[in-house]
Structure 1
Amino acid sequence: MNDNFFPIVVNNTLPETEINNNFFLFLFRATRIPPHLGLIFNGKVYDITLVGPNLGTDVAAFITTVKKKYTKTLFIELNKPNVSATEIETTLVEAMKKFNNVSQENSCLSPIKTAFKQLFDIQIDKVNYIFDLIPLLHQKNIVQHIFHLNLERNLQENTFYLQTYNQNDIQQSIKALNRVNGIC
């Protein structure tokens, strides 16, 4: 592979029993530029979209959608921060509310950076993309495992190659989604 791809070693297919009791960073539509990013904690989804935030929606519906639509998704299992579950949930909700929705100014990575800075006490100032964040999470020993759903054909020797992208790619994706959703 070349510099346009970021390698991510994948441990296995997502064991569904794991999803309800753990902490995950997910890359939804992982083969698209850019993928959509969000968090799962204790069986609830937290992310921002064009129309607003998901503040702890049921993960079962999300997993059903991923399977039914055969959406290629990565799940990065994280070590839980050394705070209570209630504090984690509060931090996630506050981070999502702070940014509220994806816009020209805020990507779906924005609230994740805010939450991780608070929960893991990591410096995220130089993190602009998911391929900046993943090495930092590895360096700080925050990543436990990396799982996937529907990426079997995209793995080479248990490695998924995430296509890198830039700010212009993110802006073009937001504009395209706005047109599709009739928001602009």
Structure 2
Amino acid sequence: MKTRVGLITDSIFNLDFNKINGLLLTDAEKVPPHIGLVCNGFYYSATANGTILDRKMSSVLEVITKKKKKVLLALFNFKIEKDVLRNTFIEYGPLINGKTCLHPARICIEKSTGLSFNVNFVFELLPLMYNEKLISNYCHFLLDDYLDYGYYQLTTYSKNDIMECIDRLKR
């Protein structure tokens, strides 16, 4: 099953990352994709091996390009404060004991918007955020072959799929 997300209008390489806030899905075509947040030129994420804080987007883009990662970026209509990002991701820590990469991202979004999203998956979160007009646009890298009339279809998956992926990454 798939969930359709907003119209994709541009490549991520046409953006000035120093001026944007958004949710970045790497390996967007995989089950599950990896979730991180972009804030004013920096990247934040919880991974199986630790927490990524204040990584320059230029280095993230180099990896995306070199490894030909398929990427979806939801651009936010709101700002996330750096302190909120750092504190939330530090407190959350690495992906152990059933933790997922969505949770700290969702908490940062909730703290920044004052809204509550009772979701467990990014394919649930993005349509709700779009309906609340919190997403201004979607951009991508290497997803052209996956678009349906300009829209991307996120594959749905289970919590078990996430845990199996995290376990594979730890090996």
Query: Are 1:89 and 2:82 an aligned pair?
Result: yes
User: Where in structure 2 are the equivalents of 1:1-184 lying within 5 Å?
Assistant: 4-8=1-5, 9-81=7-79, 88-124=81-117, 126-179=118-171
Give the aligned CA root-mean-square deviation in angstroms: 1.3
Tell me, which stretches of 5 or more residues in structure 1 are unaligned? Answer: 180-184
Q: Partner letter of residue 4 of structure 2?
A: P
Tell me, which stretches of 5 or more residues in structure 2 are unaligned? Answer: none
The alignment of Structure 1 onto Structure 2 pairs a total of residues equal to 170
Report how far residue 102 of structure 1 moved: 1.3
Distance in structure 1 (CA, Å) of the matches to 2:110 and 2:15: 28
Q: Specify the structure having the higher radius of gyration (Cα).
A: 1
Report how far residue 15 of structure 1 moved: 4.0
Q: Is the 8 A contact 1:104 1:171 kept in 2?
A: no
TM-score norm. by structure 2 comes to 0.94
TM-score norm. by structure 1 comes to 0.88
Q: Give structure 1 regions of 4+ aligned residues with deviation exceeding 6 angstroms.
A: none
Distance in structure 2 (CA, Å) of the matches to 1:11 and 1:127: 26
Distance in structure 2 (CA, Å) of the matches to 1:40 and 1:98: 18
Distance in structure 1 (CA, Å) of the matches to 2:126 and 2:104: 15
Report how far residue 17 of structure 1 moved: 3.4
Q: Is the 8 A contact 2:45 2:101 kept in 1?
A: yes
- Identity between Structure 1 and Structure 2 (%): 25
